[in-house]
Structure 1
Amino acid sequence: MFTKYLQDVFKVPLVIQLTDDEKFMWKNLSVEETRRLAHENAKDIIACGFDISRTFIFSNFYYVGVPFYENMVMIGKHVPYKKVVGIFGFTGEDHIGKVSFPPVQAAPSFPTSFPHLFPGGLNPRCFIACAIYQDPYFRMTRDVAPQLGYNKPSFIESIFFPALQGEGGKMGSSDPNSAIFVLDTAKEIKDKINKFSFSGGKDTIENQRKYGADLEVDIPVKYFGFFLDDDDELEHIRTEYKAERMLTGEVKQRLIHVLTEVVERHRKARAAVTDKMVDAFMAVRPLPNMFS
């Protein structure tokens, strides 16, 4: 959603890398399953409303080749083994596929990896919107870029959504109650927020009225920070909740409404995404109007 905002505001081409090979190397999945997941990921991405005339989505298994592979090799040659171990913490138990993966993640930062988009001397700078866990990859990329004659990519990092159970919990598909998923039903969202979202409110109405809520640990308030567009309403909720004038149940009901709207909008958009549309976004093609 944030990346779509950047594309809309700056009217720029967007390249989206689906790392199906990374899933294969880090998880106990078959190549066929990682390809299927990449295809499903593409549907979710397209449902966000990206402009097909400015967007190229690719999967590593299908796209990587010359000259993308040339950039991978050059990056790999210029990053010493001890440095990549220091960055990513690889151990002697890790297979060499993991050690060889960082150049695959780095190569899309350079325009020559996409000659169908940036032919000849076209050398735009790369700006990456990513989650904070990807920071090591692109710090490495910035270090190596000048050695290869490329511009350093810039990046902006997002923080993680906390798990519904609280900051100390782990959010992931292994625990379906740890997160809200984009294909959850309205009932599932309601049940998860009411039953599992950690509250900074007190154990009784009396104590809530007396002491107010601890906003530093309250998960619904943290989720409002991501999904509530009205800053004035967000500040009102924070003030009233902390000052004992708003109860946990009221806050959760408002969050249920906000998240249900977001997810339902996404579900409807995703249902309209066909396999043919995925193929169109992933077709290796020029984007003649990508800067206009």
Structure 2
Amino acid sequence: MFLAVPSFPRSFPHLFPGQDKLRCLIPCAIDQDPYFRMTRDAAPRLGFTKPALIESLFFPALQGETGKMSASDANSAIYVTDSRKDIKDKVNKYAFSGGQDSIENHRKYGANLEVDIPFKYLSFFLEDDEELEHIRREYGSGRMLTGEIKKRLVEVLSEMVERHQAARALVTDEMVDSFMAVRPLPNMFR
């Protein structure tokens, strides 16, 4: 039941003084759903407002939907500390493809986008919806090859990770201390 504690404003009296009836929106994945359903059942009996849930999708491991991202397997995910070369190597070597076993078959049958990890990652990270739809049509029909979609994914991920790394390099210990300080947020709910 420890997962339920952040669902209630009394858990954060320094943030929400006297605001015991605030509603909580919990973003969670399907594996956490049972805990928060129990929380919703118990909340009224404990005198609290039921929290609301919004469920998100699991982000698949590079090796495919049946795999799991794991800190013990550095090749199961792209990390914000990875270099452009690391990203390229991981995507090209480990990203499970829904493409066919030969160019001829791929041109004939197209890619299976339901299992293709590079396409799934692009659907999360590519900001241009028109480009994503173009990739869906071209790759799904076999006109675009696996190497092309992996190359585009490497570009998108590398740019994003490099932006993050540049921003992270600007963060000071003082900034972290200020952000983590216990403090009221007086104007949050007026």
TM class, shorter-chain normalised? over 0.9
Q: 2:13 aligns with which of 115, 129, 154?
A: 115
The match for 1:138 is: 36
Q: Percent identity?
A: 71
Aligned-pair CA distance for 1:144: 0.8
Aligned-pair CA distance for 1:122: 5.3
Matched, 1:256 2:154: yes
Query: Which AA in structure 2 matches 1:120?
Result: G
The match for 2:123 is: 225
Distance 1:144 1:278 in 2: 36
Distance 2:55 2:141 in 1: 32
Aligned 8 A contact 2:9 2:19 in 1? no
Distance 2:171 2:32 in 1: 28
The match for 2:59 is: 161
Matched, 1:148 2:46: yes
The 1:134–1:274 alpha-carbon spacing in structure 2 relative to 1, beyond 3 Å, is: farther
SS at match of 1:125: coil
**1:87-118 CA distance string (max 9 Å, x none):** xxxxxxxxxxxxxxx2x321111111222222
Distance 1:223 1:121 in 2: 40
**1:146-196 CA distance string (max 9 Å, x none):** 011111001112111111111112221111111111111111000000111
Q: 2:98 aligns with which of 183, 187, 200?
A: 200
The match for 1:284 is: 182
The match for 1:70 is: none
Which deviates the most, 123-132 or 230-239?
A: 123-132
The match for 1:170 is: 68
Aligned-pair CA distance for 1:273: 2.1
Aligned-pair CA distance for 1:237: 0.5
Query: Which AA in structure 1 matches 2:153?
Result: L
Distance 2:168 2:21 in 1: 34
Aligned-pair CA distance for 1:140: 1.6
Note the aligned Cα RMSD (angstroms).
1.5
The match for 2:79 is: 181
Query: Which AA in structure 2 matches 1:242?
Result: G
Aligned-pair CA distance for 1:274: 2.2
Distance 1:222 1:171 in 2: 15
SS at match of 2:43: helix
Distance 2:3 2:173 in 1: 26
- Report the TM-score when normalising by structure 2: 0.93
The match for 1:61 is: none
Aligned 8 A contact 2:75 2:94 in 1? yes
- Report the TM-score when normalising by structure 1: 0.62
Aligned 8 A contact 2:122 2:132 in 1? yes
Aligned-pair CA distance for 1:121: 4.6
Query: Which AA in structure 1 matches 2:152?
Result: R
Query: Which AA in structure 1 matches 2:158?
Result: T
